Amino acid sequence: MKSSREISGLIEIMAALRAPGSGCPWDLQQTFETIVPYTIEEAHEVAEAIERKDFDDLKDELGDLLLQVVFHARMAQEQKLFGFDDVVEAITAKLIRRHPHVFGDQKNLSAEQVKELWHAIKAQEKAARPDKQQHGALAGIPGGLAVLIRALKLQQNAGKVGFDWNDPLAVLAKIREETEEIAVAIKGGDKDEVRGEIGDLLFAVVNLARHMDIEPEGALRGTNAKFERRFASIEAALAAQGKRPQDATPKEMDDLWNAAKAAERR
């Protein structure tokens, strides 16, 4: 089978991989549940490629993510639930339905009005499905989301009904309060209490990012990359001295960290 630019080729390959008796043993063993971690991982790798501005890698990662959609659709087709065509039809209809300012008669809307319209239409869609309807302001937020993203969405939904801070500095004061509570919990020696207080601190930091219109996952991803760069600089500097990190003192590594930090700023 030759490679193809057509989506039909990818669908055919997936069908061959899942064919009983002639397919791939690993692919045949998979279920919706076992594939979920790979789907989440591929989405994160797309985000990482964008963060690095590596667009060759982004092309490959988008392909990997597309494979996840095709894989899930194939398993659904085998169970006579739906097929890939149904997935395409569903998202096509949704995009048209949620963009009446493009495909309908609600013209000349601002970006903020479009956002409000999107949420209103989404609410109408949920109301039309009473069998799947969940109640409450926090309903409908998937439990499988990355925890920072889920915290952000919980806060956004609560904010829509008025449960929110009105000043980023008030959130910053809450963060300081949480750090004090962590200190008290550490002195108390109760690890479960410390865990809970650290969770409260992380939640508050996500809230601050939201109030500053900063995407917390992206902010942390950037810090992870910065840490990797600076630590690699420490390792390179130590290697030039014939040392490994485990051979260096904390002060030596701290000095090299500060040097890497200063070099980046320059």
Write the CATH number for 83: 1.10.287.1080
Distance CA 141, CA 191 (A): 29
- Tell me which DSSP letter residue 131 carries: G
Residue 79 in 3-state DSSP? coil
Q: What is the pLDDT along the chain (266 residues), one digit of tens a residue?
A: 667 789 999 999 999 999 999 999 999 999 999 999 899 899 989 988 998 899 999 999 999 999 999 999 999 999 999 999 999 999 999 999 999 999 998 888 899 899 889 888 987 887 777 655 566 888 878 887 788 999 999 999 899 889 999 899 999 999 999 999 999 999 999 999 999 999 999 999 999 999 999 999 889 988 998 999 999 999 999 999 999 999 999 999 999 999 999 998 88
| Same-domain pairing of 85 and 114 | no
In-domain check, residue 54: yes
Distance CA 111, CA 96 (A): 17
| Same-domain pairing of 54 and 29 | yes
Distance CA 232, CA 252 (A): 14
DSSP code string of 214-255: --HHHHHHHHHHHHHHHHHHHHHHHHHTT--GGGS-HHHHHH
| Same-domain pairing of 92 and 24 | yes
In-domain check, residue 91: yes
Token pair of 77 as six digits: 């087709």
Tell me the residue range of the domain where 90 lies. 7-97
Dihedral of the alpha carbons of 74, 58, 228, 209, in degrees to the nearest 10 = -80
Task: Report how many domains make up the chain.
Answer: 3
Distance CA 103, CA 95 (A): 9
| Same-domain pairing of 28 and 90 | yes
Residue carrying the six token digits 């701290």? 254
Instruction: Determine contact, residues 151/206, Cβ cutoff 8 Å.
Output: yes
Answer yes or no: pTM beyond 0.95. Answer: no
Distance CA 203, CA 221 (A): 17
| Same-domain pairing of 87 and 129 | no
Instruction: Determine contact, residues 68/39, Cβ cutoff 8 Å.
Output: yes
In-domain check, residue 200: no
Cα separation of the two ends of the chain: 53
